[in-house]
């Protein structure tokens, strides 16, 4: 509606008022003039009275003119009033339409909100399913993902019912203000009430959104808690295994240290077999597998956070979802605690984020202790190998010692036998079986017998190899005796000096090889 008609009417009214004021002033002036006139009844005043009458007639005529002017002004004023009343009626209708329009807009908003809250209401199950969609069945074994679904639906339905109450009221308000008989004030009051209901309506829509966010956060926390508890269970098992493995490695070290200076071959062999058995039992348990199990569990936590667009970074800014192995390796030898950062940053401290940080610290602790055990395992294995080398050294040394003693005995025996053989050989060589002239002395048959035996004797001497170089034989025996004495001296030197094990073993092996050659000679 334009304000121009109002301005025109105001100008017209002002003009009428000015003219009316002029008429009133003129009338008052005439009234004053009339009040000053008086007609004398004396005959002597007739002429004067006649003039006064003429004046009165003129004044009366002026009054009639003023009356007509006033009546004309009244007529104009009535016309203006009629138009003003028409404008007033139009204004009132516009005011009604304005208030009705607001109520219609409120109703339109509530319809949009209805679609929105109904959509939110249907998102509960998809929200939960979206959280668990990236996991395998085994990852969530033991957790009922729909445990709270009924409770969530019930609470969301309560919010929706509250919304529908205000929605129905606003629909009724629109019907009320649309009636022809309703006054402006009634429409206005209804509009004010509708606005109050709209606030409740919007509040319930926001409440539904907030509750869906709560569901998402609560399920996020519930699954994080599940993985945290699962990780703690693995950690408890690992700690128990850690104590046993650590104790086992210590026992092996102590056992080996107790015999590291021993020369008792049997004791060394017993400890070697015992420690090898203990070591085999320890490594067969695969204690290091716990760290991989723990890592997979924490990967599920970072995967869950990533599904909600939450990035977890360590102190070095490494994204744990993408590069958890790099993050772990960078802090294995660090003495400082690795602090996690969450992007986007939470507006307030969340218990869920604390659980994630605690889980990460548990994972790091498992990896650090696993690394500690692996290093200890390697040190223990080195001790076992040293113990085996010590046993082999003592075994070889004892074998060498026995072989030396046996060989010396055999060589002495051989030397004596050779000397005896040489003596007999010399005596035998002095003997001759000369059958010359026997054919003239003996009968032919006797001679032939002696001749045959003589030939056989000479052949047997050659066959037995008795005819050998005695000097060379004595020289060879002397050389072998010197070698035996040299090996014995080497053995004594090994026992007296602190050679490294590889050098000792090499010398012992060379000695054993030489002894074998001498034994077979």
What count of other Cβ atoms lies within 10 Å of the Cβ of residue 393?
19
Residue 144 lies in a domain: no
* pLDDT score for 31: 66
* Residue at which a domain ends, from 89, 104, 119: 104
Residue 136 lies in a domain: no
Domain limits for position 275? 222-396
- Residue carrying the six token digits 């048959």: 445
Number of domains in the chain: 3
- The Cα angle at residue 457 between residues 456 and 463, in degrees rounded to 5: 85
- The Cα angle at residue 35 between residues 33 and 37, in degrees rounded to 5: 75
Residue 161 lies in a domain: no
- Whether 495 shows a pLDDT value over 60: the answer reads no
Are residues 347 and 382 located together in one domain of the fold?
Answer: yes
56 compared with 328, residue with greater pLDDT: 328
* Residue at which a domain ends, from 65, 83, 104: 104
pLDDT band at 134 (very low <50, low <70, confident <90, very high): confident
Residue 355 lies in a domain: yes
Dist. CA 343–CA 337, nearest whole Å: 20
Dist. CA 271–CA 269, nearest whole Å: 6
Are residues 307 and 417 located together in one domain of the fold?
Answer: no
pLDDT band at 499 (very low <50, low <70, confident <90, very high): very low
Which contacts (CB < 8 Å, 24+ apart) does range 301-307 have? 301/224, 301/227, 301/228, 301/356, 301/359, 303/134, 303/135, 304/131, 304/134, 304/135, 304/220, 304/223, 304/224, 304/227, 305/220, 305/342, 305/356, 307/130, 307/131, 307/133, 307/134
Residue 434 lies in a domain: yes
Are residues 352 and 481 located together in one domain of the fold?
Answer: no
Are residues 260 and 348 located together in one domain of the fold?
Answer: yes
Q: What is the mean pLDDT of residues 140-152?
A: 90
pLDDT digits (tens, 9 = 90+) for 378-419: 998 998 898 888 888 888 778 777 777 777 777 777 767 767
Residue 291 lies in a domain: yes
Are residues 392 and 404 located together in one domain of the fold?
Answer: no
Dist. CA 23–CA 63, nearest whole Å: 9
What count of other Cβ atoms lies within 10 Å of the Cβ of residue 142?
8
Question: How confident is the prediction for the chain on average, in pLDDT?
Answer: 80
* Residue at which a domain ends, from 396, 429, 461: 396
Are residues 355 and 228 located together in one domain of the fold?
Answer: yes
- Whether 71 shows a pLDDT value over 90: the answer reads no
Q: Could you write out the three-class secondary structure of 80-99?
A: HHHHHHHHHHHHHHHHHHHH
Are residues 298 and 404 located together in one domain of the fold?
Answer: no
394 compared with 3, residue with greater pLDDT: 394
Are residues 385 and 405 located together in one domain of the fold?
Answer: no
Residue 415 lies in a domain: yes
The token pair that represents 88 in the structure block? 């007033």
- Whether 60 shows a pLDDT value over 60: the answer reads yes
- Whether 45 shows a pLDDT value over 60: the answer reads no
Are residues 360 and 240 located together in one domain of the fold?
Answer: yes
């Amino acid at each position: 509606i334009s304000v121009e008609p109002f301005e025109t009417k105001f100008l017209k009214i002002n003009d009428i008022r000015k003219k009316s004021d002029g008429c009133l002033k003129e009338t008052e002036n005439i009234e004053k003039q009339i009040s000053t006139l008086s007609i004398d009844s004396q005959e002597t005043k007739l002429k004067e009275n006649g003039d006064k009458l003429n004046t009165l007639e003129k004044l009366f005529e002026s009054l009639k003119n003023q009356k007509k002017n006033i009546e004309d002004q009244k007529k104009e004023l009535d016309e203006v009033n009629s138009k003003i009343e028409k404008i007033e009626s139009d204004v009132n209708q516009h005011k009604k339409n304005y208030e009705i329009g607001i109520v219609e807009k409120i109703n339109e908003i509530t319809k949009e909100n209805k679609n929105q809250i109904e959509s939110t209401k249907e998102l509960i199950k998809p929200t939960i399913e979206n959280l668990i969609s990236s996991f395998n069945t085994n990852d969530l074994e033991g957790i009922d993902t729909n445990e709270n679904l009924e409770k969530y639906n019930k609470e969301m339905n309560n919010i929706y019912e509250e919304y529908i109450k205000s929605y129905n009221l606003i629909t009724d308000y629109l019907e009320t203000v649309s009636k022809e008989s309703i006054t402006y004030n009634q429409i206005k009051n209804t509009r004010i009430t509708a606005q109050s209901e709209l606030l409740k309506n919007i509040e319930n829509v926001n409440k539904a959104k907030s509750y869906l966010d709560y569901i998402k956060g609560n399920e996020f926390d519930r699954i994080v808690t599940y993985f945290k508890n699962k990780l703690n269970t693995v950690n408890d098992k690992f700690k128990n295994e850690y104590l046993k493995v650590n104790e086992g490695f210590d026992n092996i070290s102590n056992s080996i240290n107790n015999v590291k200076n021993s020369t008792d071959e049997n004791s060394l062999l017993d400890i070697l077999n015992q420690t090898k058995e203990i070591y085999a039992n320890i490594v067969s348990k695969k204690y290091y597998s716990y760290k991989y199990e723990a890592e997979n569990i924490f990967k599920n936590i970072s995967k869950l956070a990533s599904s909600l667009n939450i990035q977890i970074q360590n102190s070095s800014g490494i994204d744990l979802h993408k590069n958890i192995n790099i993050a772990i390796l960078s802090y294995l030898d660090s003495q400082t605690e690795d602090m996690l950062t969450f992007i986007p940053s939470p507006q307030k401290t969340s218990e869920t984020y604390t659980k994630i940080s605690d889980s990460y610290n548990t994972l790091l602790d498992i990896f650090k202790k696993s690394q500690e055990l692996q290093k200890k395992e390697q040190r223990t294995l080195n001790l076992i190998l040293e113990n085996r080398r010590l046993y082999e050294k003592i075994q070889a040394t004892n074998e060498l010692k026995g072989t030396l003693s046996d060989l010396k005995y055999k060589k002495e025996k051989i030397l004596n036998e050779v000397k005896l053989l040489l003596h007999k050989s010399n005596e035998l060589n002095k003997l001759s079986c000369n059958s010359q002239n026997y054919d003239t002395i003996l009968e032919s048959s006797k001679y032939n017998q002696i001749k045959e035996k003589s030939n056989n004797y000479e052949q047997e001497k050659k066959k037995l190899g008795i005819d050998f170089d005695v000097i060379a034989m004595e020289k060879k025996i002397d050389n072998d005796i010197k070698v035996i004495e040299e090996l014995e001296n080497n053995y004594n030197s090994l026992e007296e000096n602190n050679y490294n094990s590889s050098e000792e073993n090499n010398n012992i092996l060379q000695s054993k090889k030489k002894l074998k050659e001498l034994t077979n000679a």
